[in-house]
Amino acid sequence: MTKFHLLAATALSMIAGSMPAFAQTTDPTAVPVTPTAAGAVQPDAAQTIDDDWGNEIIVTANRRAEPIQDVPVAVTAVNAQLLDDAGVRDIRGLEQLAPSLQTTTGQSSATATSLSIRGVGTAGDNPGFEPAVGVFIDGVFRSRAGIAIAELPEVERVEVLRGPQGTLFGRNTSAGALSVTTALPKFDLGGYVEGEYGNFNAYELKGALTGPVTDQLALRVDGGYRKRDGYIEDVNSDRAFNDINRWYVRGQALYDSSAFSFRLIGDYYKTDEQCCGVVSGTRGPTAAAIQTIATQQGRTGIYTGPPSDRRMAASPGRDYLEAVRDWGVSGEMNADIGDFKLTSISAYRDFRVLRNQDIDYSGIDRAYREGYKSSLRDITQELRLQGQLFDGKLDFLVGGFYLNEKLKLRDTVRLGNDANRYVDTLLAGVLGAPPAAGASAGPRSFTAVSTCRPLRSW
């Protein structure tokens, strides 16, 4: 899937006077910030401002660093301190700081996670659906919400832009945009190590190390590992589902001179988990048929205790494997050309997921998904030129965005050993006849293989 968008004077404004801001959200605990030569934003305690709390918040909602009071966009800005205090580990944790942002997870956290803003979003397990909420991490577009829920490294700030966004971010999004800016390499030697432990044998260890190589080159490496036991128990075995087992590593290099900067980022993220089991609410004739077959085999078909017990019945030999591998490389260049500033962001992303799924969510073997494979490869290129003309009376931004996307999907659903027995038992109950012996189903399966064809739009 190939798409090309050309932005011709996408943000052209006459700023003879101050522009009013509408529906903006400011944070009284945010740290005052100013832009750096690399186009990022760093704290500056010496800056003076005029807002109600004595702080000025600089955001890039219009693809330029400017005070949030001057931005005519409904935006919520959250700084690093608030994120750390709230224990935000991924994008889903932002709900507690930005109430208009909501996340939902269906049958898979990798392929069925949906983001919505003000109740508007894209739902469904189809990986071909493009999100209504665009996610941008360090200026790089993440084309699916599931790709963007990986563990976050140290974050400098998060901006939640509410409402439809135009092509300023390279992609039209009907519900809003989520812009995440991670911490830059620093020219002072530093770092941190952080560890946590919680219930369900949950523990996390992460840290970072940064420092200078020369006066103009700095490096940074982040890494983390997180693990937790599952919290939904299988009543037919000693297994537990919905566990966490993931790790990441991320390296950066920043070259920064007075008129030129280049930031290179490489990251790798991997998970190997059992997701996503649920407490079944099936009742009535269907549950009766399942319980009858399971009882004959010495198992529980549907757990009927209170949902607070967090127990479910799973088929023997079936699981909820979800293994994800996500990696990418990006480079951001900022150069001063006279009175203008040129920005280029190039990126390559590769995402792959392998899943198994006991899709009947019961203790009998009716049907299951085996060897679900999905891969997504994105190549993006963004160019922006911005500056001022006519003694600052004209402030312009012009740019272009290119996306080359290739999506592959292979989905296999098979009938289980109890498929025929379940149908016979269910029909027998409806017709009032004695249930049949129920011969097991033979090797039957339904396989769907899909590849997006190249599509070019202008």
Q: 397 pLDDT exceeds 80?
A: yes
Please report which confidence band the pLDDT of residue 128 belongs to, taking 50, 70 and 90 as the band edges. Answer: confident
Q: What is the pLDDT of residues 346-385, one digit of tens each?
A: 999 999 999 999 988 999 999 999 889 999 999 999 999 9
Please report which confidence band the pLDDT of residue 168 belongs to, taking 50, 70 and 90 as the band edges. Answer: low
Q: What is the pLDDT of residues 276-296, one digit of tens each?
A: 888 888 888 888 889 989 999
Look at residues 345, 291, 395 and name the one whose alpha carbon lies nearest to residue 12. 395
Greatest mean pLDDT among 65-79, 171-185, 220-234 lies in 220-234
Please report which confidence band the pLDDT of residue 39 belongs to, taking 50, 70 and 90 as the band edges. Answer: very low
> Which percentage of the chain shows pLDDT scores above 90?
39
CA distance 429 to 235: 26
Angle at the Cα of 388 (from 382 to 390), degrees rounded to 5?
145
Query: What pLDDT was estimated at residue 134?
Result: 83
Between helices 419-431 and 285-296, what is the axis angle to 10°? 130
Please report which confidence band the pLDDT of residue 257 belongs to, taking 50, 70 and 90 as the band edges. Answer: very high
Query: What pLDDT was estimated at residue 216?
Result: 95
Q: What is the pLDDT of residues 9-24, one digit of tens each?
A: 333 333 333 333 333 3
> Which percentage of the chain shows pLDDT scores above 70?
75
CA distance 74 to 165: 11
Greatest mean pLDDT among 170-174, 187-191, 422-426 lies in 187-191
Please report which confidence band the pLDDT of residue 102 belongs to, taking 50, 70 and 90 as the band edges. Answer: confident
Q: Which residue has the higher pLDDT, 328 or 131?
A: 328
Q: 63 pLDDT exceeds 80?
A: no
> Residues 80-108: what's their mean pLDDT?
80
Q: Assess contact for 447 and 418: CB atoms under 8 A.
A: no
> Residues 173-202: what's their mean pLDDT?
90
pTM across the whole model: 0.77
Q: Where are the domains of the chain?
A: 2-10+20-451
- How many Cβ atoms from other residues are within 10 Å of residue 337's Cβ? 11
Query: What pLDDT was estimated at residue 207?
Result: 95
Query: What pLDDT was estimated at residue 13?
Result: 37
